[in-house]
Amino acid sequence: MIDIHCHILPGLDDGAQNLNDSLDMARAAVSNGIHKVVATPHHKTSRYNNPKSAIVEKVNELNELLQENQVPLEVLLGQGVRVFGDFVEDFKNEQILTVNLQNYVLVELPSNHVPSYTEQLFYDIQMNGLTPIIVHPERNSQIVEQPDKLYNLIEKGALSQVTASSVTGELGKKIQRFTFQLIDANLTHFIATDAHNITSRPFNLAEAYDVVEKEYGIEFVDMFMENAEHIIGGKMIYRENPERIKRKKILGIF
pLDDT digits (tens, 9 = 90+) for 124-153: 999 999 999 999 999 999 999 999 999 999
Instruction: Tell me what pLDDT residue 48 has.
Output: 81
Instruction: Tell me what pLDDT residue 158 has.
Output: 98
In a domain, 250, yes or no: no
In a domain, 245, yes or no: no
**Could you read off the pLDDT of 187-217 as tens digits, one per residue?**
999 999 999 999 999 999 999 999 999 999 9
Number of domains in the chain: 1
Query: At 248, is the pLDDT very low, low, confident or very high (cuts 50, 70, 90)?
Result: low
DSSP character string of 4-55: EEE--STTSSSS--SHHHHHHHHHHHHHTT--EEEE--BSB-SS-B--HHHH
Instruction: Tell me what pLDDT residue 252 has.
Output: 44
Per 3-state DSSP, the chain is made up of helix, strand and coil in percentages (nearest 5) of 45, 15, 40
> In this predicted model, which residue has the larger pLDDT, 3 or 43?
3
Instruction: Tell me what pLDDT residue 150 has.
Output: 98
Q: Is the pLDDT of residue 110 over 80?
A: yes
Length, in residues, of the chain: 254
Residue range 80-105: average pLDDT? 95
Q: Which DSSP state fits 101? A: G
In a domain, 243, yes or no: no
In three-state secondary structure terms, 164 is: helix
Domain of residue 125, CATH code: 3.20.20.140
In a domain, 83, yes or no: yes
Query: At 250, is the pLDDT very low, low, confident or very high (cuts 50, 70, 90)?
Result: very low
Instruction: Tell me what pLDDT residue 11 has.
Output: 92
**Could you read off the pLDDT of 155-187 as tens digits, one per residue?**
999 999 999 999 999 999 999 999 999 999 999
In a domain, 66, yes or no: yes
In a domain, 251, yes or no: no
Query: At 44, is the pLDDT very low, low, confident or very high (cuts 50, 70, 90)?
Result: confident
In a domain, 252, yes or no: no
Instruction: Tell me what pLDDT residue 247 has.
Output: 66
- 86 lies in which domain range? 2-232
